[in-house]
Structures are given as C-alpha cells and as structure tokens.
Amino acid sequence: MDEEIHERIRDMIKAIPRGRVATYGDIADLAKAPSPRLVGRILNEDGRDLPWQRVLKADGTCAPHLRETQLQLLHEEGVPNLDGKVNLRDHRWEDVRKDEAAEPPGLW
C-alpha cells in the first residue's frame, strides 16, 4: 500500500542520527521505496516534522531552494560542508553503519 511506504520513509528519516546524513537513494532503499523521487515528494508535502536537513542528494549537495538553510542547520549539528557539499564518505549514515559493523574495534 502507498500508505505503508509513506510511513516507512518518514520513519527512516526520523531514524537518521544527529550529525549524520543520508541520500534520497539511501532512504528509498532502506524504506523499500520504488524510487528516490518518492522520498523527495514525501518530504515536500510531509517533511515539516522530520529532520529533512539530514537528507541530501547522491553527490552530497542539497536541493537548490534549501541550500542556504540546509547547510546552516547541518553545520549546527556538527556536519561540516565544503563549498556546499558534504563529505558523504565521512558522514553518510548507511556507510558509517556498515563501517562500524565491519571495522575491528580500536583500529580508529
């Protein structure tokens, strides 16, 4: 059902930890959404109560109309950005989870 996806997408976004980010594609994947476009649409109409600032495009940039606000909020959360682009390698939610699970403790 569409409602299911809708809800799951919102839950996934809510689940993004502070100081971390995820791409639309990641959310779509985790929420089993058929397309990243759906994630964008959800945020557009129902993103008021969500940490929408933690959702970025695949290249680490954010949507044009939000750029200013987005970067500001992320910066306040402790997510640095370089000329409007966030380093996904260091702050991407999915990647970090994977690394933390696979990385031997104490290595870093």
Summarize as ranges the residues that interact with DNA (CB under 7 A). Answer: 2, 23-25, 34-41, 43-44, 47, 52, 55, 57-59, 63, 65-66
Q: Compute the distance between CA of residue 79 and CA of residue 34 in angstroms, rounded to an integer.
A: 29
Specify the residue, 15 or 66, whose C-beta has the smaller distance to DNA: 66
Give min distance, CB of 7 to DNA, in A: 13
> Of 1 and 101, which CB lies nearer to DNA in the complex structure?
1
91's enclosing H/E stretch is helix 88-91
Q: How far is the CB of 41 from DNA (least distance, A)?
A: 5
Q: Among 6, 45, 39, 7, which residue's Cα sits nearest to residue 23?
A: 39
The least distance separating DNA from the CB of residue 37, rounded to whole angstroms, comes to 4
Do the strands 81-82 and 85-86 form a parallel or antiparallel pair, or are they unpaired? antiparallel
Say which DSSP state 21 is in. Answer: B
Supply the minimum distance, in Å, between the C-beta of residue 44 and DNA. Answer: 4
Q: What are phi and psi of 29, to 5 degrees?
A: -65, -50
**82 vs 107, beta carbon nearer DNA:** 82
Beta bridge partners of 55: 22
| Residue 25 or 95 with smaller CB distance to DNA | 25
